[in-house]
């Protein structure tokens, strides 16, 4: 089977059997989504890269605990989430979500104006600040759902709770972000 078209689960089954080249394919496949998730969780690109390496090292060292045909993506994000939790406990500081993201503004008929770019940049920074202030579990659920596109069932696997609890965390996370943004908007318009 061609590794590029193989399912994550098939590749992980081969990794479990000791085939390192299949792990390399998974690392390449998940480089962007997992790094993005980790950066949003810890707010530091270098720390996110370290956690990315730690997560894939754990995939290799714990490969025999993977149960085929369970979803690899959920298993990988659970490992990464546990690495973040450990990093938070060790640091004892609140993570700050990176605010240096590339911002794309779509304006019909042309390039964005400087004021549109400024508004978008400010909005991204406000949302990042709001997300960084959420409790760990709420932030994890919000980032996995909105930026990584995991289903509620997958998130429940990642964080180790019921789907109903994940939905509750999502509800509270969105309410927390909304409260933070409304307070900032109200202060700016007084």
Per DSSP, the three-state class of 110 is: strand
Choosing from 68, 96, 124, the residue where a domain stops is: 96
User: Is there a single domain that holds both residue 76 and residue 135?
Assistant: no
pLDDT of residue 93: 43
pLDDT of residue 6: 93
Considering 22-31, 102-111, 144-153, the range whose residues carry the highest mean pLDDT is 22-31
Range of the domain at 135: 106-190
Choosing from 54, 74, 96, the residue where a domain stops is: 96
Look up residue 22 and give its two tokens. 């299949």
pLDDT of residue 91: 65
Q: Which of 80, 73, 57 is nearest to 8 (CA)?
A: 73
Look up residue 98 and give its two tokens. 């990176």
Other Cβ atoms closer than 10 A to 8: 18
> Residue 110's beta-bridge partner residues?
107
Q: Tokens 């008929």: give the residue.
A: 109
Note the Cα 118 to chain centre separation in Å.
Answer: 25
- Average pLDDT estimate for 153-174: 95
Choosing from 33, 67, 96, the residue where a domain stops is: 96
Check: CB of residue 58 under 8 Å from CB of residue 79: yes
Does the global pTM surpass 0.85?
Answer: no
Assign 190 a pLDDT band (cuts: 50, 70, 90): low
Assign 98 a pLDDT band (cuts: 50, 70, 90): very low
């Amino acid at each position: 089977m061609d590794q590029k078209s193989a399912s994550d689960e098939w590749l992980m089954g081969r990794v479990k059997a000791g085939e390192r080249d299949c792990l390399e394919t998974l690392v390449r496949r998940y480089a962007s989504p997992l790094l993005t998730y980790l950066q949003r969780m810890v707010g530091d690109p270098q720390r996110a890269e370290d956690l990315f390496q730690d997560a894939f090292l754990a995939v290799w060292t714990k490969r025999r605990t993977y149960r085929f045909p369970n979803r690899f993506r959920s298993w990988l994000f659970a490992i990464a989430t546990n690495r973040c939790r450990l990093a938070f406990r060790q640091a004892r500081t609140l993570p700050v979500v990176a605010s240096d993201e590339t911002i794309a503004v779509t304006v019909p008929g042309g390039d964005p104006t400087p004021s549109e770019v400024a508004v978008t940049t400010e909005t991204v920074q406000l949302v990042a600040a709001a997300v960084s202030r959420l409790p760990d579990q709420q932030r994890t659920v919000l980032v996995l759902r909105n930026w990584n596109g995991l289903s509620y069932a997958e998130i429940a696997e990642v964080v180790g709770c019921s789907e109903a609890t994940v939905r509750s965390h999502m509800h509270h996370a969105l309410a927390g972000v909304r409260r933070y943004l409304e307070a900032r908007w109200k202060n700016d318009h007084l």
